[in-house]
């Protein structure tokens, strides 16, 4: 930030340095008595220099972190239109429930009899996830979407091994527009990945797909609605074809929020699908976590689901922790093992169930309807100045390409940076890769018409300015943010990964 | 002789060896390249296999083997300095040298005039 005031602050926008740069050991807010009693047993490995912790008073510490939090952009501050990410409002009821001591203050190693309520909650959530997806089994332990994908593909691998076909069925098909985690997961499981081309409407080219099937097919990974925000209309034909070829159908459930309560993946022939609780069921995410990706399974894959899972016997809940724990010899359980140390993301389970139960099935369905309605409203408004990548209606997110910027000198990146000046987090840019200069907007269902009008008004005004030749302003954007355009290229080419103290601080002993 | 693919790669044919790189159009479309991963020398690829990875500030992209063959040399200069891919894609920033296993594949690729025409319709 250029220094225009004595402090460097701009009114309430406080310039905040790193905590080590503002600290002074003499201002440390705690004053612990020197330890007495035992002498150190560290011998030659005892630290000789000062440890270098920051020194701040309690109010200074408080202010530092509050100021940093104010520099963040969050769904609680404004619309968060990141396509494919489903940045939903996080109802406060969910937070209240997750903090109940019976859910928030427990430990996974507690005896089962002391956590019956928590186990019942996991079982109840599992029931509703199976109900909403029309699938007979669910693994609750995956910690995120990609982890759920891994869970699903490991189950497919285990099923192929049980059939004695793991050596011959090695190829997985995935659309060109798929989330990058799809081919990555398949490769991680030892499969080779083959792209399925799209047709001119942005959907899977069914004939090209059929032509790629063969006796070496392990399965197909399809997101529905897909990453272009379009419903794969041929989904049933796709599942029939892959089953006929002897493969399994993995559905990436990242966009389940568009169809939850409206359509059941089990009815569409899906064999495995992860559910992003942090998207569809509104648990908070961003900045890397915490996700939660329970994975549902069809009858053919259910025996291979990982442990642990919760079962109830005579009103008592218990965890099935080992592969043969159900007791009977011929129960058909051939679990591929364990994905995580414990049972899953308990805090996210509580929030997701609170969301489901407070909305009811009609509310869950309406959330999907409103998500689709909002995205189509945005698509209809922005169509006046921007160029939709594909014709027709969209599902929960709308995709634009950069044709409307052609000849203006403004690129997708500049357009996104100019949105920051308007007070918006940019949409998803340059994804999916199949669309040139992609801009993927997911408005989420909780945005009101007023918010959407304001958002679209800002984007239409930017599009007009770009076409009117204001290229220099776009290239200089953002102008009003605490930091101007960051040099992402140098940051990526020559990253500085470690903070080194200014020499003056270092020399104070 | 230089040949081109519709994945925007160029191939300079030097006997049974071809030098392979990406075209200036590809470099411009990628944006500032920040990372390049090249295959090991001695590795063999079939035509259209994923051969290398280029990461820019926009996205990570695969570079496909334009023909079948064995890698005989790779250009470590672009691994050390990915910016070369933007500065001199048709020259200093070549990616790999391959020994051609099926020279008939070369005949099917575009010559310069055909590639120019192809670019106009992208």
CA-based nearest residue to A382, from A330, A439, A308, A336: A439
Whether A74 is in a domain gets the answer: no
Give yes or no for residue A504 having a pLDDT over 70: no
pLDDT for A339 beyond 90: yes
CATH code assigned at A475: 3.90.1150.10
Q: Is the same domain home to A348 and A433?
A: no
CATH number of the domain that residue A164 is part of: 3.40.640.10
Cα–Cα dist B86/B67, whole Å: 24
Residue that is last in its domain, among A331, A353, A375: A353
Same domain, A182 and A158: yes
Q: Best residue in B31, B58, B81 to probe A by mutation, most A CBs within 10 Å?
A: B58
Is any Cβ of chain B less than 8 angstroms from the Cβ of A330? Answer: no
Residues 66-105 of B with CB under 8 A from A: 82-83
Share of chain A above pLDDT 70, in %: 95
The four Cα atoms A179, A340, A220, A400 give a dihedral, to 10 degrees, of -10
Q: Are B58 and A488 an interchain contact pair (Cβ–Cβ within 8 Å)?
A: no
Nearest to A489 among B57, B59, B60 (CB): B57
Q: What is the pLDDT of residue A416?
A: 97
Radius of gyration for the alpha carbons in chain A, expressed in angstroms and rounded: 26
H or E element that contains A273: strand A272-274
Number of independent structural domains in chain A? 2
CB contact under 8 A, A492 and B61: no
Chain A hits for B61, Cβ within 8 Å: 433
Q: Assign A328 a pLDDT band (cuts: 50, 70, 90).
A: very low
Q: What is the pLDDT of residue A1?
A: 45
What is the share, in percent, of chain A residues with pLDDT greater than 90?
A: 76
Same-domain pairing of A231 and A275: yes
- Quick one: pLDDT band at residue A288, thresholds 50, 70, 90? low
Would you call B58 an interface residue with chain A, using a CB distance cutoff of 8 Å? Answer: yes
For residue B122, what is the nearest residue in chain A, using CA coordinates?
Answer: A436
CATH of domain B2-101: 2.40.50.100
User: Is B61 in Cβ contact with A433 (below 8 Å)?
Assistant: yes
Q: Do B34 and A493 touch (CB under 8 A)?
A: yes
Tokens representing A136 are 């007979």
Interchain CB distance below 8 Å, A413 and B35? no
What is the rounded distance in angstroms from the CA atom of residue A463 to the CA atom of residue A447? 22
**Does residue A51 belong to any structural domain of this protein?**
no
Mean pLDDT on A118-132: 98
Of A353, A386, A411, the residue at which a domain comes to its end is A353
Average pLDDT of chain A is 92
Number of A to B CB contacts under 8 A, please give it.
23
Model confidence, pTM: 0.89
What H or E segment, with its residue span, contains residue B2? strand B2-4
Residue A324: count of CB within 10 angstroms of its CB: 11
**ipTM of the modeled complex:** 0.78
Rounded mean pLDDT, B54-69: 91
pLDDT for the residue A333: 64
- Asked whether the beta carbons of residue B57 and residue A488 sit closer than 8 angstroms, the reply is yes
Q: How does pLDDT run across A7-44, given as a tens digit for each residue?
A: 778 777 778 889 988 888 888 888 888 888 777 788 88
Residue A265 lies in a domain: yes
- Taking the CB of residue A407, how many other CB atoms lie within 10 A of it? 8
**Shortest CA distance from B33: residue in chain A:** A489
User: Is B57 near chain A, with CB under 8 Å?
Assistant: yes
CB contact under 8 A, B59 and A433: yes
pLDDT of residue A289: 67
What whole-number distance in Å separates Cα of residue A181 and Cα of residue A193? 12
Residue A150 lies in a domain: yes
Is B28 within 8 Å of chain A by CB? no
A177 and A136 assigned to the same domain:
yes
User: Do A320 and A445 have their domain in common?
Assistant: no
CA distance B5 to A416: 32
Mean pLDDT of A450-468: 98
List of chain B residues whose C-beta atoms are within 8 Å of the C-beta of residue A492: 32, 34-35, 55, 57
Instruction: Note whether residue A167 is domain-resident.
Output: yes
Residue A42 domain flag: no
∠ CA(A203), CA(A204), CA(A208), 5° rounding? 140
> Distance (Å, rounded) from C-alpha A355 to C-alpha A345?
15
Domain match, A243 and A392 both: no
Closest Cα partner for A435 from A418, A412, A455? Answer: A412
Could you count the other beta carbons within 10 Å of the beta carbon of residue A486? 11
Query: Averaged over A350-358, what is the pLDDT?
Result: 98
Give yes or no for a cis peptide into A290 (omega within 30° of 0).
yes
| Shortest alpha-carbon distance between residue B58 and chain A (Å) | 6
A309 lies in the same domain as A185: yes
Question: Under a CB-based contact definition with an 8 Å cutoff, are residues A388 and A398 in contact?
Answer: yes
Cα→Cα distances A258→A225, A358, A434, B87, Å: 7, 19, 21, 44
Of B59, B61, B82, the CB nearest to A493: B82
Point out the residue among A180, A431, A492 whose CB comes nearest to the CB of B57.
Answer: A492
Give which of A199, A120, A202, A192 is closest to A153, Cα–Cα: A192
CB neighbourhood size of B18 (10 A): 25
| Residues A349, A366 within the same domain | no
Residue pair A411/A402 in contact (Cβ under 8 Å)? The answer is: yes
Q: Is residue A325 scored above 50 in pLDDT?
A: no
Last residue of a domain, one of A336, A353, A370: A353
Examine the domain organization and report whether A290 and A404 are in the same domain. no
What's residue A36's pLDDT?
A: 83
Measuring CA to CA, how many Å separate A216 from each of A166, A176, A185, A245? 9, 20, 18, 9
How far lies B50's CA from each of A121, A130, B38, B44, in Å? 46, 38, 10, 11
> How far is Cα A210 from Cα A196, in angstroms, rounded to an integer?
10
Same domain, A240 and A342: yes
pLDDT band at A507 (very low <50, low <70, confident <90, very high): low
A495/B contact by beta carbon, under 8 A: no
**Taking a contact as any Cβ pair under 8 Å apart, which residues of chain A between 462 and 491 contact chain B?**
488-489
- Do the bridges between strand A309-313 and strand A316-320 make them parallel or antiparallel, or are there none, so unpaired? antiparallel
User: Is the distance from CB of A159 to CB of A248 less than 8 angstroms?
Assistant: yes
- Is residue A425 one of the residues assigned to a domain? yes
Residue A370 sits in which domain range? 361-493
């Amino acid at each position: 930030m250029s220094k225009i005031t004595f402090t460097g602050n701009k009114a309430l926008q406080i310039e905040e340095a790193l905590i080590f740069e503002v600290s002074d050991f003499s201002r440390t807010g705690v004053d612990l008595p020197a330890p007495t009693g035992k002498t150190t047993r560290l011998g030659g490995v005892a630290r000789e220099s000062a440890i270098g912790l920051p020194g701040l008073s309690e109010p200074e510490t408080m202010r530092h972190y509050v100021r940093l939090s104010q520099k963040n952009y969050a769904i609680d501050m404004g619309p968060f239109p990141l396509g494919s990410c489903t940045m939903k409002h996080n109802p406060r009821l969910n937070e209240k429930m997750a903090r109940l001591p019976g859910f928030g203050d427990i430990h996974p190693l507690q005896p089962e009899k002391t956590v019956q309520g928590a186990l019942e909650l996991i079982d109840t959530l599992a029931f509703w996830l199976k109900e909403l997806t029309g699938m007979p089994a669910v693994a609750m332990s995956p910690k995120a979407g990609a982890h759920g994908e891994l869970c699903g593909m490991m189950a497919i691998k285990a099923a192929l091994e049980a059939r004695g076909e793991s050596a011959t069925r090695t190829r997985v098909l995935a659309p060109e527009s798929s989330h990058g985690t799809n081919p990555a997961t398949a490769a991680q499981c030892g499969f080779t990945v083959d792209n399925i081309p799209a047709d001119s409407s942005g959907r899977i080219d069914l004939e090209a797909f059929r032509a790629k099937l063969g006796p070496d097919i392990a399965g197909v990974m399809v997101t529905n609605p897909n990453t272009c925000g379009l419903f794969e209309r041929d989904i049933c034909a796709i599942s029939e074809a892959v089953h006929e070829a002897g493969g399994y159908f993995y559905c990436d459930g990242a966009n389940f929020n568009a169809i939850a309560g409206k359509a059941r993946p089990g009815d569409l022939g899906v064999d495995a699908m992860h559910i992003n609780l942090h998207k569809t069921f509104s648990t908070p995410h961003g900045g890397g976590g915490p996700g939660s990706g329970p994975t549902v399974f069809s009858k053919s894959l259910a025996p291979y689901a990982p442990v642990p899972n919760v079962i109830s016997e005579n009103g008592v809940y218990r965890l099935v922790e080992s592969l043969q724990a159900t007791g009977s010899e011929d129960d058909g359980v051939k679990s591929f093992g364990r994905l995580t140390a414990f049972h899953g993301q308990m805090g996210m389970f509580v929030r997701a169930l609170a969301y489901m139960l407070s909305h009811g099935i009609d509310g869950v369905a309406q959330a999907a309807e409103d998500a689709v309605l909002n995205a189509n409203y945005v698509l209809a408004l922005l169509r006046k100045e921007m160029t939709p990548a594909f014709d027709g209606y969209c599902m929960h997110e709308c995709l634009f390409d950069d044709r409307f910027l052609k000849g203006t000198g403004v690129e997708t990146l500049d357009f996104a940076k100019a949105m920051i000046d308007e007070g918006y987090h940019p949409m998803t840019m340059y994804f999916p890769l199949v669309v040139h200069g992609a801009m993927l907007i997911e408005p989420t269902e909780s945005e009101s018409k007023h918010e959407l009008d304001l958002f679209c008004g800002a984007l239409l005004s930017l599009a007009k300015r770009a076409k009117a030749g204001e290229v220099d302003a776009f290239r200089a954007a953002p102008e009003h943010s605490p930091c101007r355009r960051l040099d992402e290229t140098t940051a990526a080419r020559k990253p500085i990964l470690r903070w080194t103290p200014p020499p003056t601080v270092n020399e104070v002993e | 002789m230089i040949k081109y693919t519709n994945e925007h790669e160029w191939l300079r044919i030097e006997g049974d060896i071809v030098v392979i790189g990406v075209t200036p159009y590809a470099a411009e479309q990628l944006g500032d390249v920040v990372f390049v991963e090249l295959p090991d020398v001695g590795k063999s690829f079939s035509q259209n296999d994923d051969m290398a990875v280029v990461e820019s500030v926009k996205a990570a992209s695969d570079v496909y083997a334009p023909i079948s063959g064995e890698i005989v040399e790779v250009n470590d200069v672009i691994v050390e300095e990915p910016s070369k891919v933007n500065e001199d894609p048709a020259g200093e920033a070549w990616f790999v040298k391959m020994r051609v296993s099926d020279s008939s594949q070369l005949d099917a690729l575009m010559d310069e005039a055909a590639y120019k025409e192809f670019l106009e319709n992208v």
